[in-house]
Amino acid sequence: MKKTSSATLMTEGPIWKRIILFAIPLFWGNLFQQLYNTADSLIVGNFLGNAALAAVSSSGNLIFLMIGFFNGLSIGGGVVISRFFGARNIENMRKAIHTAVAFGLICGVLLTVIGIFAAPRILVLMGTPAEVLPNSVIYFRIYFAGSMSFVMYNIFVGILQAVGDSRHPLMYLIISSITNIVLDLLFIAVLHYGVGAAALATIISQTLSAVLCLIQLLRTSGDFRLCPREIRLDTGILKQIVSNGLPAGLQNSIISIANVFVQSNINRFGALAVAGCGSYAKIEGFGFLPVTCFALALTTFISQNLGAKEYERAKKGSAFGVICSISMAELIGICIYIFAPQLLSAFGADAEAVAFGTMQARTVTLFYCLLAFSHCMAGILRGAGKSTVPMFVMMVCWCIIRVTYISVILRFIPDIRMVFWAYPITWTLSSATFLIYYLKSDWVHGLERGKTNT
């Protein structure tokens, strides 16, 4: 196989070094992405007021519901590509790359149509406050007009990460983040455009990062080079991508449906509650950084090592990644717990909105270690070709139980804090379930006997 400076085999060398060196760019990339997501709320809240901030905040869970499914499918593409990459199966790796790109183009068109036309109805069903609804619809529709960029960016990044390249996506995300912040300030602070300008700035910056990823894939000298003439659907490869990605996509959608339900109950407490909790959600994104970067790193690490039949190495890497993730997540959670009022005040919300956000932060942040454990277990199992397990665990714990709990508890205790407690309760349940599966199931022995989808 042709050696390149950007591709990295995770089947060789010290385990800790391979995982850390792969996870660090993911961490910084997610940090910059969270910064430019937060910039929308910071600039909107400070220059357009609480009503506009609530409009942006109320769309967050719904946006993830729409794009989460397709992002899950891109994860499936990455798992298949990294498996072939680890096994040095270049022919099938190239088929997987070009099939993933073709599939992404189809998904981008579908998401654009669904997002634009479904926006008003879904926002109404969520109980979005009347004073917030018009701006929410504008923000949502403009955001989804750029769906193709979001989908293709995730496809391209998935390809690069599958071959061990997390450095180039980081560079492009930094450029995109700076672009987004500059455009937010220009459109809103200088030109005084409305809330839709924040969505437009996000679309432009995301398109830029997608184009930069595409250029890298077109110009690389590696075996994973993208050739436009080869972009087509290979039915056999597509079946593998869907079988690995569909459970992840359904998992994202199921979690999002539950969170949309949570958001609809937060909406019942008024626009200030929406603004305060939406501001906390932006801060919470920073707590998720070690969660997401190690979960993604573990998926790639496990996939490549299973492709190379390095089963013992895969087991050791999974333990190391989980320990790192939960330790970092808990440290960040403690910091947010302590400084929540000061952090929330930066969004320009009034005292009551800050109080709502602080209340949520001090309910959930000390449980970030459980969130990290659940996501890492999901990443490990996806890399092992067992993506249906996290799908069912999270469907039951994070959707069915979460929704049932809120529906019942609010009938007896109509307090917004009861809504907040839905998160740590369901994180605890999913973590306990994953731990039992990890320790008691035959997933490790299955790897040793070659029973996974390699």
Most confident of 169-183, 234-248, 310-324, 359-373: 359-373
Whether residue 183 has pLDDT greater than 60: yes
Lowest average pLDDT, out of 108-112, 329-333, 347-351, goes to 347-351
Q: pLDDT per residue over 126-149, tens digit each? A: 666 677 777 778 887 888 888 888
What confidence tier does 453 reach under pLDDT thresholds 50, 70, 90?
Answer: very low
The pLDDT, as a whole number, for residue 123 is: 73
In a domain, 86, yes or no: yes
The CB density around residue 12, as the number of other CB atoms within 10 Å, is: 12
Segment 98-127 mean pLDDT: 82
In a domain, 230, yes or no: yes
What confidence tier does 3 reach under pLDDT thresholds 50, 70, 90?
Answer: very low
Residue with the larger pLDDT of the pair 253 and 453 = 253
- How is residue 5 annotated by DSSP? S
Q: What is the pTM of this model?
A: 0.70
Segment 98-113 mean pLDDT: 88
Residue of 123, 117, 121 whose CA lies nearest to 55: 123
What confidence tier does 406 reach under pLDDT thresholds 50, 70, 90?
Answer: very high
The pLDDT, as a whole number, for residue 327 is: 92
The pLDDT, as a whole number, for residue 6 is: 56
- Give yes or no for a contact between 424 and 370, defined as CB atoms under 8 angstroms apart: yes
- Give yes or no for a contact between 286 and 366, defined as CB atoms under 8 angstroms apart: no
| Start-to-end CA span in the chain (Å) | 19
Q: How far apart are CA 221 and CA 398, in angstroms?
A: 43
- Give yes or no for a contact between 334 and 366, defined as CB atoms under 8 angstroms apart: yes
Q: How far apart are CA 40 and CA 51, in angstroms?
A: 14
Lowest average pLDDT, out of 143-157, 193-207, 297-311, goes to 297-311
Average pLDDT value over all residues in the chain: 81
In a domain, 453, yes or no: no
Residue with the larger pLDDT of the pair 59 and 85 = 85
Q: How far apart are CA 90 and CA 86, in angstroms?
A: 10
Cα dist from 293 to 22, 106, 202, 242, 299, whole Å: 9, 27, 22, 23, 10
Q: What are the two backbone dihedrals, phi and then psi, of residue 239, each rounded to the nearest 5 degrees?
A: -60, -40
Q: What are the two backbone dihedrals, phi and then psi, of residue 136, each rounded to the nearest 5 degrees?
A: -65, -45
Q: How far apart are CA 31 and CA 177, in angstroms?
A: 10
Segment 66-91 mean pLDDT: 79
Q: How far apart are CA 337 and CA 419, in angstroms?
A: 18
Calculate the CA 395 to chain-centre distance. 17
Q: What is the DSSP track for 154-205?
A: HHHHHHHHHTT--HHHHHHHHHHHHHHHHHHIIIIIIS---THHHHHHHHHH
What confidence tier does 57 reach under pLDDT thresholds 50, 70, 90?
Answer: low
The pLDDT, as a whole number, for residue 393 is: 92
The pLDDT, as a whole number, for residue 36 is: 67
In a domain, 14, yes or no: no
In a domain, 451, yes or no: no
Q: Which domain holds residue 315?
A: 25-445
In a domain, 12, yes or no: no
Long-range contacts of residues 414-419, Cβ cutoff 8 Å, at least 24 apart = 416/266, 416/269, 416/273, 416/356, 416/359, 417/359, 417/363, 419/262, 419/265, 419/266
What confidence tier does 442 reach under pLDDT thresholds 50, 70, 90?
Answer: low
Q: pLDDT per residue over 355-398, tens digit each? A: 998 999 999 999 999 999 999 998 888 888 787 888 889 889 98
Residue 41 CB burial class (10 angstroms; 0-12, 13-18, ≥19): buried
Q: pLDDT per residue over 272-290, tens digit each? A: 888 888 888 878 877 777 7
Give the total number of structural domains in the chain.
1
Lowest average pLDDT, out of 66-80, 222-236, 405-419, goes to 66-80
Most confident of 73-77, 219-223, 341-345, 446-450: 341-345
Rounded to 5°, the CA angle 259-261-267 comes to: 100
What tokens were used for 248?
């992840």
- Give yes or no for a contact between 371 and 291, defined as CB atoms under 8 angstroms apart: yes
What confidence tier does 446 reach under pLDDT thresholds 50, 70, 90?
Answer: very low
- How is residue 229 annotated by DSSP? G
Segment 61-83 mean pLDDT: 75
In a domain, 8, yes or no: no
In a domain, 332, yes or no: yes
- How is residue 55 annotated by DSSP? H
Cα dist from 333 to 2, 73, 193, 308, whole Å: 43, 30, 35, 37
Share of the chain above pLDDT 90, in %: 19
Calculate the CA 330 to chain-centre distance. 19
Rounded to 5°, the CA angle 182-183-186 comes to: 90
Segment 404-428 mean pLDDT: 92
What confidence tier does 58 reach under pLDDT thresholds 50, 70, 90?
Answer: low
